[in-house]
């Protein structure tokens, strides 16, 4: 499929829901939107969106919630366009949600649950679950409904999903659980909900990342405080030996480093390369005051 044809299909797809145009994505990341348009209607788009949404590169601060919402909306819209002919009637565009739900065939329940969760629409999520939507099945975005709710900070929706049987410790192919995502995005109320409902505070990804380590890397001090209150291991390292304190200092997160030190973080923990948090801090002017405090 050539690029011009893909772009035309993308423009037509956006006309399905003109009120939901991804304005935040266009404003902040126009190149990403252009690439999505170029790949629209191809199998490569799903791989590209997954890569962008996961954004695994070190040091990246990630997308703002409104940008993340736009990306996930486009992922769901692509699935919708692949599943329905271009000239089909969209119940969501012409009817209110309850009537729209009745008009949808059962195979579309994942798409509808995906959309309701992304929108943070607790009422629609309840309605879909009552109609038999699978709370444990991956949505059209490729994650479980609970992961989506945690990724976007929708606490009430997360609570509904957990009450309906969502597994708070379910891990994806990379070992990430809902608690990883809520901690990474600093949705501390969601973090607390998950922990109260049985989430493992020190759950590790395939790379050995814990929720505390992810939160420390982002400077998510509110979530860190909750995790530590639930006895997160302050010195638990990943597979390469990076501890939360290593990551906080490497990413210039002074408040996060201070919180970790107040809770017993080890200055002398060794990465496989031999580098310690103390050595990292000495190379960064922002940590002079903290070093002086410790020395005193």
3-state class percentages of the chain: helix first, strand second, coil last, to nearest 5: 60, 0, 40
Look at residue 10 in the predicted model and tell me its pLDDT: 80
Look at residue 57 in the predicted model and tell me its pLDDT: 46
Look at residue 169 in the predicted model and tell me its pLDDT: 96
Asked if 96-167 and 173-296 have one fold, the answer is yes
Q: Domain residues of the chain, as ranges?
A: 1-88, 96-167, 173-296
Look at residue 37 in the predicted model and tell me its pLDDT: 87
Tell me if the domain spanning 173-296 has CATH number 1.25.40.20.
yes
pTM, to two decimals: 0.68
Look at residue 105 in the predicted model and tell me its pLDDT: 37
Look at residue 137 in the predicted model and tell me its pLDDT: 83
What does the radius of gyration of the chain's CA atoms come to, in whole angstroms?
Answer: 21
Q: SS3 of 103, please? A: helix
Look at residue 195 in the predicted model and tell me its pLDDT: 98
Look at residue 3 in the predicted model and tell me its pLDDT: 63
Please give the mean pLDDT across all residues of the chain. 82
Look at residue 167 in the predicted model and tell me its pLDDT: 96
Look at residue 71 in the predicted model and tell me its pLDDT: 84
Look at residue 98 in the predicted model and tell me its pLDDT: 43
Give the other-Cβ count within 10 Å of 50's Cβ.
13
Look at residue 6 in the predicted model and tell me its pLDDT: 67
**CATH architecture designation of domain 96-167:** Alpha Horseshoe (1.25)
Look at residue 283 in the predicted model and tell me its pLDDT: 86
Give the other-Cβ count within 10 Å of 88's Cβ.
11
Look at residue 102 in the predicted model and tell me its pLDDT: 41
Instruction: Please report where in the chains the tokens 């030996």 appear, as a residue.
Output: 241
- Whole-angstrom distance, CA of residue 177 vs CA of residue 117: 17
Residues of the chain with pLDDT under 70: 1-6, 16, 18-19, 54-62, 79-80, 82-108, 139-142, 293-296
């Amino acid at each position: 499929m050539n690029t011009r044809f893909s772009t035309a299909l993308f423009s037509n797809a956006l006309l399905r829901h003109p009120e939901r145009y991804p304005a935040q994505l266009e404003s902040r990341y126009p190149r990403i939107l252009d690439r999505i348009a170029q790949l629209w209607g191809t199998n490569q788009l799903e791989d590209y969106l997954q890569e962008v949404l996961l954004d695994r590169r070190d040091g990246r601060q990630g997308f703002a919630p409104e940008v993340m919402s736009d990306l996930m909306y486009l992922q769901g819209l692509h699935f919708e366009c692949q599943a329905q002919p271009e000239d089909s009637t969209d119940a969501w565009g012409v009817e209110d949600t309850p009537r729209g739900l009745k008009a949808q065939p059962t195979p579309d329940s994942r798409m509808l649950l995906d959309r309701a969760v992304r929108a943070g629409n607790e009422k629609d999520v309840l309605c879909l679950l009552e109609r038999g939507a699978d709370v444990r099945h991956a949505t059209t975005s490729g994650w479980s409904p609970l992961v989506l709710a945690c990724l976007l900070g929708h606490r009430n929706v997360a609570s509904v999903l957990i009450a309906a049987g969502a597994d708070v410790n379910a891990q994806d192919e990379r070992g990430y659980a809902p608690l990883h995502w809520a901690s990474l995005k600093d949705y501390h109320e969601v973090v607390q909900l998950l922990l109260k409902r049985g989430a493992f505070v020190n759950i590790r990804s395939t790379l050995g990342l814990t929720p505390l380590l992810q939160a420390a890397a982002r400077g998510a001090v509110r979530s860190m405080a909750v995790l530590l209150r639930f006895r997160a291991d302050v010195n638990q390292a990943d597979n390469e030996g990076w501890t939360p304190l290593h990551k906080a200092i490497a990413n210039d997160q002074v408040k996060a480093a201070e919180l970790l030190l107040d809770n017993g973080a080890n200055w002398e923990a060794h990465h496989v390369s031999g580098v310690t948090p103390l050595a990292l801090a000495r190379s960064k002017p922002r940590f002079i005051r903290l070093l002086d405090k410790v020395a005193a």
